[in-house]
Chain A
């Protein structure tokens, strides 16, 4: 059944705000109507349209996994008009949420495989929903080894610090690699950009799926490295970002060729990406 009322957001309340970095906060949001919360049915990798009334809407990926509870988390970097307003909001304030939109990650296809996550900058946010899904008590046994390679510009820009340092490493059969662009006092980890770091870690392609997310430049360079390491196009999954207004495949602007990122994406395999014009 098509949802005809899709442009109207549901009222929701901000229940928690975590400061991730100087320009990034994670908002925990709960729908005012418990029935909507119960039946929202978000899948890892999907996105929502967040409304700040008086300012408009913006597409934000859901960074929480549905396995973590009946709430939604949105990790928001302050870059534009709407995100600046969101950053001024406080716990208890109302926003509007509509969704969930997009295809989400093909987690069924990933079952039985090792997973190698690569995230650059704020793009850890969209893949975190899948990381938490596959690492959940419920589904951990469905997946093999989980490795996460994450790079940020500086120590301050590292998102989900406690997830990376404590929560995820504590789960069995996981490995976390982190890097920052330039050396900094107090940082004992790797220093350098993400693409060469992937080459250094050199994941092997056997029975492995790579999930890659980052700014357009990282996607382009990262894909090249993965191909060099012997990964096939079907083994590489990425998630795209485009400017969106409706998220329903109608407003037109997020097309890449004949595909709309909002309804046909945002998740694509490299095999699918190669069928599309390089206009993202």
Chain B
């Protein structure tokens, strides 16, 4: 498809317009944090950021989501479902986080069971990606098939080049958007900008310091569930908190429960849940199939590098590095992958 140009000076105008016409989600500064929030205009938006503290996955799978409300008196019951999603633009998301949304798609848009809440948001959303300008020491998207300037999953991808944004139109949704705001998305000769973008991508791809290679790791996992490796330091130091799963852009597990508001009414809520919590698999009868940190850590990392691949033919990790940064005890998926690779090579 075609490409366009936005002058940096016009970004504010674009954001203000988008906020007027859509629910606009964009990165904002909240004290020390960079988070994706719904914004009312350009003034709150922060585009000069490395990686948000929490991924924008909440745009499609909010931490709390009402699936319906009910009015129940024992012998009468009324169920009311919320309206479908409103037109939304997710602006300024990084390529790794956008790739992560693609790992959600087969989960929620399954063969047998769909998910109206997810699909409604997905269908009504336009994703405007923003190429990275910097690689952090914790980044490893290249090892998961992505890249700092990867277009995968974006409807439009913006790349900052000097005082301009080079805009790649990737989907029809993206095309419709640039056509609707054609006074901002200027039609110009973009040959030089395209070249500059390739240069940037090349430069950034040389800046990764974490060496991660998945080759052979899944094959090792396929044939070895029990490995002494899982009894090592990681399960000893894990504190069973939910950080890695909550900051992870591909973690999609949830819980469902009722939230009563009194007077026979309430909401059914689904909210993020974490496989690192002991209660996650604890059955009412007391049996727990993953009773210790060993089983839970193994399950989480196997899910990322094997189970998600088995089921959906996609790695369940995009290399955003958030779990690496945020884990209080420095459990590091890249170390786990490399250690397993070593185990595979020595086997």
Q: Do A and B come from one complex?
A: yes
The answer on a CB contact under 8 Å between B77 and A258 is: no
A53–B107 touching, CB < 8 Å: no
* Contacts known (A243-B282, A251-B256, A253-B275); A7 close to B67, Cβ less than 8 A: yes
Q: Check if A207 is an interface residue, CB within 8 A of chain B.
A: no
Known A11-B77, A253-B273; contact A245-B256, beta-carbon cutoff 8 A: yes
Instruction: Give the dominant DSSP class at A's interface.
Output: loop
| Interface residue ranges of A209-261 to B (CB < 8 Å) | 215-216, 241-243, 245-246, 248-253, 255-258
- Interface residue total, chain B, C-beta cutoff 8 A: 54
With contact pairs A216-B287, A255-B299, A257-B307 given, residues A4 and B119 touching in the complex (Cβ less than 8 Å): yes
In the complex formed, the residue of B with least CB distance to A262 is B113
A141 interfacial by beta-carbon distance below 8 Å: no
B281 CB contact (under 8 Å) in A3, A57, A242: A242
Q: Is A161 an interface residue (CB 8 A)?
A: no
CA A56 to CA B282, docked complex, whole Å: 16
Is A242 within 8 A of B306, CB to CB?
no
A277 at the interface (CB under 8 A from B): yes
Name the distance in Å between A64's Cβ and chain B's nearest Cβ: 22
Tell yes or no: A54 within 8 A of B by CB.
yes
Q: What B residues does A8 contact at CB under 8 A?
A: 67-68, 79, 81
* Contact size range, A: 35 or more
Whether A279 lies near B113 (C-beta < 8 A) is no
Contact with A along B99-114 (1 / 0, CB 8 A): 0000000011111111
Residue of B nearest to A245 (CB): B256
Interface segment among B24-32, B136-144, B247-255: the answer is B247-255
Interface of B: prevailing SS: mixed
Docked complex Cα distance between A246 and B280 (Å): 13
Bound CA span A19–B108, Å: 39
CA distance A126 to B187 in the complex (A): 65
Mark each residue of chain B from 121 to 140: 1 if its CB lies under 8 Å from any CB of chain A, else 0. Answer: 00000000000000000000
With an 8 A cutoff between CB atoms, is B219 at the interface? no
Q: How far is the CA of A259 from the CA of B290 in the complex (A)?
A: 15
- The residues of A that contact B254 with a CB separation of less than 8 Å are 245-246, 250-252
Decide if B266 touches A53 in the complex (CB within 8 Å): yes
Give the distance in Å from the alpha carbon of A54 to the alpha carbon of B302 in the complex: 35
Q: Which of A93, A251, A278 contacts B273 (CB 8 A)?
A: A251
Contact B258 A3 (CB under 8 A): no
Q: Mark A86-128, 1 if CB is under 8 A from B, else 0.
A: 0000001110100000000000000000000000000000000
Instruction: Select one of A6, A9, A54, A58 contacting B115, CB under 8 A.
Output: A6
Task: Chain A residues near B68: list those with CB within 8 A.
Answer: 7-8
Among B112, B281, B286, point to the contact of A263 (Cβ < 8 A). B112
B75 touches A242 (CB 8 A): no
A79 within 8 A of B: yes
Does B282 contact A2, Cβ atoms closer than 8 Å? no
Contact call B285/A79, Cβ cutoff below 8 A: yes
14 extra A-B contacts, CB within 8 A, seeds A242-B283, A252-B252:
A3-B114, A4-B113, A5-B116, A8-B79, A9-B79, A11-B79, A54-B72, A55-B258, A96-B77, A241-B283, A243-B280, A245-B256, A255-B307, A279-B295
CB-based closest 5 A-B pairs = A80-B284, A252-B253, A4-B114, A258-B310, A53-B72
Instruction: Please name 28 pairs of A and B residues whose Cβ atoms are closer than 8 Å in the assembled complex, sorted by A.
Output: A3-B113, A4-B116, A7-B67, A7-B115, A7-B256, A8-B81, A53-B77, A53-B258, A54-B260, A79-B286, A94-B74, A215-B285, A241-B283, A242-B281, A243-B282, A246-B256, A246-B270, A249-B113, A250-B110, A250-B252, A250-B254, A251-B255, A251-B273, A252-B253, A255-B307, A258-B306, A279-B289, A279-B295
